[in-house]
Amino acid sequence: MAKRYDLAEVLRAGAGKSPEEKYKVHRPLLLQQSLDRFREAYLRRHETGERAAYVEAIGALTGVLLHLEEPLAMSDEEPAYMWLCDLGRHLEDLDSGIVPPTLNCAERIKGLPTVEWMKRLWVVGAIELLHATGMTLEVAARQAILGYQLQEVSEEEALSWRKEFRKGHVKNREAAECYEEYVATIRRGDTQELQRSVAILLRSWGYLAAYPQNTGE
């Protein structure tokens, strides 16, 4: 576990030092606070709204960039730093009804955004992996839905996503390419490698339960 810095200890350590020396003492705490702010933005996104959470996260990341150890730290006058700050401002402008050119598009089409396709990909990838180890598709879909806590998604819907990916009907480039790479990795893996991948998957879901070893489509 990463070390946590105590404010009182940091203040005591910096007492009586020059501003430069004091900053060196305080820097790890400032970095820690920026990272905490970043995580908090993610955790509170359902309360604040996704856009406001992104704005807060960007602000937190600028703090991380400022308080990294030398020579990695950036200045708040660096063009790259200001460029990231501008992204937060662009997102805030949307709340006022102003669409910055960066976030505008010449032509809009109907379709799922990449974020949604990637969420579907994770579900489908889990189904493919579990199925490759002997689980039926229905049980694999059920496990994926439970693991990713998608109570609003049925087994039939999850398996329909799998059909779309398998038949090459997914037009989102990133999701389609990631699926092909993931399936190729599964096909190359031996039994032990697949079991290790399943263990990692289950651990990411927060449990290491035994799962049924059923076969068949």
What does the pLDDT look like over 129-140, one tens digit per residue?
999 999 999 999
Check pLDDT > 60 for residue 5.
Answer: no
107 three-state secondary structure: coil
**124, 165 contact by CB (below 8 A):** yes
Handedness of CA 212, 176, 152, 155 (dihedral sign): negative
Residue matched to tokens 């379709």: 111
Q: Is 135 left (phi over 0), alpha (psi -120 to 50) or beta?
A: beta
Q: Model-level pTM greater than 0.75?
A: no
**81, 59 contact by CB (below 8 A):** no
The whole-chain average pLDDT of the chain stands at 86
148 confidence band (pLDDT: 50, 70, 90): very high
Note the pLDDT tens digit of each residue in 44-80: 999 999 999 999 999 999 999 988 887 888 888 899 9
Would you state the structure tokens that stand for residue 144, as one six-digit string?
Answer: 């994926």
Taking CA atoms, 208 is separated from 35, 147, 150, 199, in Å, by 29, 11, 19, 7
Buried b (16+ CB within 10 A) or exposed e, 66-105: bbeeeeeebeeeeeeeeeeeebbebbbeeeeeeeeeeeee
Mean predicted confidence (pLDDT) in 191-198: 92
- The dihedrals phi and psi of 103, each to the nearest 5 degrees, come to -100, 5
- Does residue 12 or residue 47 have the better pLDDT? 47
The amino acid present at 102, given as its one-letter code, is T
- Does residue 211 or residue 81 have the better pLDDT? 81
Rg (CA), the chain: 23
The amino acid present at 22, given as its one-letter code, is K
Would you state the structure tokens that stand for residue 135, as one six-digit string?
Answer: 């689980």
